[in-house]
Structure 1
Amino acid sequence: MTLRPERGSSTRRQQAIPQPHGGALVPGAGRGPKRGAPNAGRPASDVRAALRQAFADRLPILTDIADDAMLSPSERLRALEVLARHGLGTVTELGVDDVRDKLAATVASIRRNVAPDVAAPLLDELRAVWTR
């Protein structure tokens, strides 16, 4: 099955991909509207902000569950885990050697990419920060 090319596209015809149900898909179709178009929907940042607010509004429920002595320990611990994960974040272990390696790479990058008259005072200031 072939389809007419879209306006403004090349004159080559696009091949439709037959589907088991009898229909066909056109490659590249269905990508949705362009960002900012009137029919583009709500931006992802707005959705995330709404979800953060919904979570914040329900924090009292989690604290009530965590404090309720009538609930099972597993339910209370689960509520505490959710509170800790969202309140404290997740912990990433970073060893001293990792920090030293990253710092050495940063210093080397500064020396390579920054003029010596600018790099020297910057590196002196960073040395003071890291040796306190």
Structure 2
Amino acid sequence: MDARDKQLLRSLRLELSTEVLMEGLVIQYLYQEGILTENHVQEIRSQTTSQRQTTMLLDILPTRGPKAFDVFLDSLQEFPWVRDKLKTKRKEIMPEEPAGQKKRHHEASLTEQFSWLSLERWWQDTGNSTTYFEELTNRSAN
């Protein structure tokens, strides 16, 4: 789970713990999808109140890998108001970058890498370290 999602769960911890998430299929779905182990399910179920069960789930989720938050969102089918709130807050924390911008940024990075690679090869071919470092300095300044 990335830092943004961990922070989101932490910031909504008290609010989420008041929801009755344990009455539905949330835990079973997380178990089915491999996010929770059988031991996790038993540990959560052993808590005396649904609030403590939810708190235990919120303690475990951040440790369960990169897919944990998205699978948790999927598990909230019976609690669409909770899922919608999490999605909204997630976007507020870090809005998604439009696909076109991601692609252009990636293309620029590849072009820049190719340019540096070309410079490196030129330097190896010529052995002219003075010109190489001048060119390196010029490119770094731009």
TM-score by length of 2: 0.25
TM-score (norm 1): 0.26
Query: Larger strand proportion, structure 1 or 2?
Result: 1
Q: Quick check: which one's helix share is greater?
A: 2
Q: Which has the higher contact order (CA 8 A, sep 6+)?
A: 2
* Bigger radius of gyration among the two: 1
